[in-house]
Every structure is written in C-alpha cells, then in structure tokens.
Amino acid sequence: MLTTESSSQYHDLEKMSVNELLISINAEDQTVPFAVQKAIPQIEALVEQIVPRMQSGGRLFYIGAGTSGRLGVVDASECPPTFGVPFDLVVGIIAGGDKAIRKAVENAEDDSNQAWIDLADYHPGKNDTLIGIAASGRTPYVIGGLNTAREAGILTGCVVCNAGSLVAQAAEYPVEIVVGPEFLTGSTRMKSGTAQKLALNMISTAVMIRLGKVKGNKMVDMQLTNEKLVDRAVRMIVEELNISSDEAGSLLNEHGSVRAVINAIRK
C-alpha cells in the first residue's frame, strides 16, 4: 500500500470536537516541513539543472492532475506578477484543461498520452524542463508526459509523496517528500498538498533568484498591478536610494519598475 493511502493515525474523527480536530490536523501539518527538509538535496539537484536551461531560453512546465495540477497552475501563475517574467515562461498544465481547476474532470488523469498532447501546443524544446506533480506517484497522465518528454531530450523532474513511485522512475531528477499517512485517510490535498506547495515555492523562487529576478531580498521586477504593490515598490525605492516617498513615486511613474528606477539613478 502507498504511504499516502495508508490509514490515518487518528480514529473516529466524527466523534472529535472541533478543537480536537483542529489541534490534530495542526499536529500532522507540523511534520511536513521536516519531510521537505529531507528532500532538499533532491530539490537542489533539480534546480541546478533548471537554471542553465532557462538561461539559454528554456521554460519551466508543470503537469499534474487534481490538487497536484492545481498547485502547479498556482505556482506558475504567481511567477509573472512576482518576478516580472512573461506568462509563458513558467506554465502550469492540469489534466482535463483549465476547467479542471474548479471542477474535477472525470478520468482526465488516466490518459497517459494526453499530457504530451497538451504540451505540444507550446512546442517544447530541449532547453525546457517538465516537472510532474503527483502525490501518489502513479498518475498515468503525469507518467506518460514525463516518459515522452524524456525521450524528446527535455529535462524531467517530479514532486511526489511516496518513495520509489512510477512517476519518480520516469523523471531524471525526482523529488520524493514522504509525509506519511494523511489525517483523513487518503486525502492528499492535506499534508501531501502542503508538501508539494512548499517544494514548488522553493523550486520557482530559487530558480528566479538565480536568474537575477531579485535584488538583495526585494522583488524589484514585480508587476505593479494594484495600490498595495505600488506602495511596496515606493518603499523599496526609498530604502534603496534614501530619497523621499514623493520622489520615489515620481521616479516609479517615470520608469515603470523598481529595477528600472535603481538602474536609471545608479547608471
């Protein structure tokens, strides 16, 4: 039996009080970062392979089904506003298409050929990277996509929550985060989902930093899509250049980004 499918350590959940439920879920959640920590060498190996490919013009693709697919879509969609990169640089693809983000699509994850069909719209090349996300590590959609991508010479990685899975075997650089039984037996949207989210945050953020999308500890290329982000950008400029907020705001309006302001003043 897969670790993610093994029985919860808790019983008679329906008899627990709300307080007992929440304390128990939280206790299980606290084990997740330690499981992720054990996988850091695997995450590091994957990131070290991704960076030079993206420096050569490659892209990063995520594929997954259900919760795993949604997590990939979320991470990919957050890269452009956070790091100012094009929307097609990091791409999340979910089995069943975008409609599956909100509503499960029956049997979508069972087609081992569909992932490569979905990827074909992007004309993947040898500088690209494909990361398969699957808590169970046995999703046909993900396995098929990784196998075909690998045959095409594309770098492959994965994030799974069982050891020795078929998905991990299909990937050149597997990341295996074994979180143990879920609080609710088999509900991998819980600890497994949290582990996958942490890993994807680590991968994309580390990659973007290595690609030069961060200065110091600041998101200097972030897209200024609302007042909160504009205010944050002004504070960054004030701190970096030691000028007034009004002057920083004017410079931001003139140049369009924190990085552009800093480069213009310090050229």
Quick check: 100 and 56 in contact, CB under 8 A? no
> Considering only CA atoms, which of 112, 111, 144 is closest in space to residue 130?
144
Quick check: 199 and 75 in contact, CB under 8 A? no
CA dist 95 and 88 (Å) reads 18
> Considering only CA atoms, which of 76, 80, 83, 68 is closest in space to residue 192?
68
CA dist 213 and 230 (Å) reads 18
Tokens of 157: 């990685």
Active site residue 109: yes
Quick check: 43 and 199 in contact, CB under 8 A? yes
Which helix (DSSP H) or strand (DSSP E) does residue 147 occupy? helix 140-151
Determine which one of 5, 44, 78, 172 is catalytic.
Answer: 78
- Rounded to 10 degrees, the C-alpha dihedral 41/64/115/47 comes to -20
CA dist 36 and 161 (Å) reads 10
Determine which one of 109, 176, 182, 240 is catalytic.
Answer: 109
Active site residue 78: yes
Q: What are phi and psi of 18, to 5 degrees?
A: -60, -40
Q: Active-site positions?
A: 78, 109
